[in-house]
Amino acid sequence: MTPSSHTHEPPLVELEQVGCALGGQPVLHDLTWRLSPGQHWAVLGGNGAGKSTFLRLVRGELWPLPESRQRRRYLVEGRVTTSPLSFREHTSLVSSELLARYQHQNWSLNGLEVVVSGLTGGHLLYSVPAPVQWERAQEVLERLELTHLAERDILTMSQGQAKQVLIARALINRPRLLILDEPCEGLDAASRTRLLAMLGKVMAHGGTQVLYATHRGSELAPGTSHAMIMEHGAIKAQGPLAEVLDQGGADLAPPAVTREHIPSPAMANNDPFLVRVEAPEVYVEHQLILRGLDWEIQPGSNWLVLGPNGAGKTTLLRLLAGELRPALGGSVAWFGRGGRRNLQDLRTRVSLVSAAWQTRHMHSQSGVETVASGLSGSVGPVREPDPAHHQAARAWLKRLGLEELGERDITTLSYGQLRKLLIARAMINQPRLLLLDEPLAGLDAPARAEVGALLARLAGEGATLVGVSHYPGEMLPYMSHVALMDQGRMVFQGSAAQYLAAHGSLA
């Protein structure tokens, strides 16, 4: 059905002059919006614009401010109600925070168990599902071409693989409204194409309307009928998709990648190498993830690691950080010396920023405290904070233009805002090796440009970066070398110029 065929039907959701607060601070202001039957909406905007909070407000997880002129109404089984409780039963939400819960709580379920849990009302299986429920979960995985993840533990999946499984979990109940927060983050180009096509099929099939937030106007699902642009907690523009994109909803174009933009390696120090990896096999949770690795990172080189979801990129970074060890017969040596390394000493010289690490920072503390914790290697509030550490943290916040986040409670920050704080936290030690697992994920276009400029400056100053990205065009300008992973093997390693010459593009 087209949106016009539902003109005289009441809206599924309606907001009138609604505001919302988090932590006692107003974050959404004067929202007036309708989700009419047949419509599918994209919510666009930068970090801190209020997109994620808006999605939670629509679903009924947050309450409007208690003012008489504010109204939120839902249509549930033909009846209009102001209570979100019954409406929530007809919705499904997929967000980075949901994936973070699985990782943070160390919930070990395979893909099939995660999907079937969508029918049982919880994130874990508190009872044995009925045979018909297992069959339905299997059917969803088959329809989405995810059967290869059915027996895979979600804790060993890549970010992209886990996201796809959680979307399958959301669809198993055939919800009236499917809500997605940054659905394409963490997905490679092929997975993004499949996901957006899948959402397009959901929209075309009818029965389930889709509401999703994204930083990138280039990642709009086919079938999206309407869009809004949010800015500072308010709706700046809304309406039919084409009209909103004309008002500035499209993403900034990524920078053109040419050899001239790629910095030459900085002057090497006296170490013959920073990291040398000889690892025939690397296992995670008894599953073989990496194999046949023979790789060396020299001082001054900056590596971009590419490959599809599940290729082993994140596991490779964990190996470089000392979190994992190769199987018997393999070795990892750091900073020109072999032998065992003290893990605590290694953490002062190697910093890692990753989505999995971000899940550990879900407690209440200020931005300054979060950045300062990088000097002590602690996670969580410190009883007696070191004034010198706080001073260093404020200096880095100022350098990165993040001063306004310094006194904010990190539990009130957007996903992208917290990511920027954690990048500052990683850099406060001025590490010899900075590992970046999707450092631009969750950031809007201006923030991606700012973080990219900072990383380029660090590369020019001699820092050694190893980064993983599903948007390689945004990182290649400051990377000197490229490694390509496929099914746990490094199938290419060489200079960025050699990679572009051999492959012709970054796809």
Token pair of 476, please?
């290649």
Percent residues over pLDDT 70 in the chain: 90
The pLDDT of residue 289: 92
Of 148-157, 197-206, 481-490, which one has max mean pLDDT? 481-490
The pLDDT of residue 336: 82
- What's the pLDDT band for 257 if we cut at 50, 70, 90? very low
Distance in angstroms (rounded) separating the CA atoms of residues 315 and 302: 18
The pLDDT of residue 506: 58
Distance in angstroms (rounded) separating the CA atoms of residues 28 and 70: 12
Please check the confidence at residue 261 and state whether its pLDDT lies above 70: no
Q: Is residue 2 classed exposed, middle or buried when 0-12, 13-18 and 19+ CB atoms within 10 A define those classes?
A: exposed
- What's the pLDDT band for 355 if we cut at 50, 70, 90? low
Token pair of 228, please?
């809004």
Residue pair 182/137 in contact by the 8 Å Cβ criterion: no
CA 198 to chain centre: 19
Distance in angstroms (rounded) separating the CA atoms of residues 65 and 341: 54
- What's the pLDDT band for 431 if we cut at 50, 70, 90? confident
The pLDDT of residue 278: 94
Mean pLDDT within 293-310: 91
The pLDDT of residue 331: 92
Distance in angstroms (rounded) separating the CA atoms of residues 443 and 355: 13
Mean pLDDT within 100-119: 85
Tens of pLDDT, residues 268-291? 456 788 999 999 999 987 889 999
Domain boundaries, the chain: 271-361+431-503
Please check the confidence at residue 133 and state whether its pLDDT lies above 90: yes
- Enumerate long-range contacts of 418-422, CB under 8 Å, 24 or more apart: 418/358, 418/361, 419/353, 419/358, 419/443, 420/47, 420/447, 420/451, 421/367, 421/370, 421/371, 422/353, 422/357, 422/358, 422/361, 422/370
The model's pTM is 0.72
Name the residue type at position 389.
H
Q: How many helical (H) and strand (E) elements, i.e. helices and strands, does the chain have? A: 16, 19
Q: What angle do CA 213, 449, 240 make, to 5 degrees?
A: 30
Q: Is residue 295 classed exposed, middle or buried when 0-12, 13-18 and 19+ CB atoms within 10 A define those classes?
A: middle
Q: What is the DSSP string of 64-131?
A: --S-TT-EEEEEETTEEES-HHHHHTTEEEE-HHHHHHHHHTT---BHHHHHHHHHHTSSS-SSPPPH
DSSP 24: T
Residue pair 258/416 in contact by the 8 Å Cβ criterion: no
Percent residues over pLDDT 90 in the chain: 38
The pLDDT of residue 249: 54
CATH T-level fold of 271-361+431-503: Rossmann fold (3.40.50)
Tens of pLDDT, residues 364-416? 889 999 999 888 777 766 667 788 899 999 998 988 788 999 999 888 887 77
Please check the confidence at residue 482 and state whether its pLDDT lies above 80: yes
Q: Is residue 500 classed exposed, middle or buried when 0-12, 13-18 and 19+ CB atoms within 10 A define those classes?
A: middle
- What's the pLDDT band for 112 if we cut at 50, 70, 90? very high
Please check the confidence at residue 455 and state whether its pLDDT lies above 70: yes
Mean pLDDT within 166-181: 91
> How many alpha carbons fall within 13 Å on the CB side of residue 180?
30
- What's the pLDDT band for 11 if we cut at 50, 70, 90? very high
- What's the pLDDT band for 265 if we cut at 50, 70, 90? very low
Please check the confidence at residue 229 and state whether its pLDDT lies above 80: yes
Residue with the larger pLDDT of the pair 219 and 385: 219
Please check the confidence at residue 3 and state whether its pLDDT lies above 60: no
Mean pLDDT within 468-474: 80
Mean pLDDT of all residues belonging to the chain: 84
Please check the confidence at residue 474 and state whether its pLDDT lies above 60: yes
The pLDDT of residue 111: 94
Please check the confidence at residue 41 and state whether its pLDDT lies above 50: yes
Distance in angstroms (rounded) separating the CA atoms of residues 430 and 294: 27
Token pair of 429, please?
């030690």
Element of type H or E holding 320: helix 313-320
> How many alpha carbons fall within 13 Å on the CB side of residue 449?
10
Token pair of 55, please?
């999605």
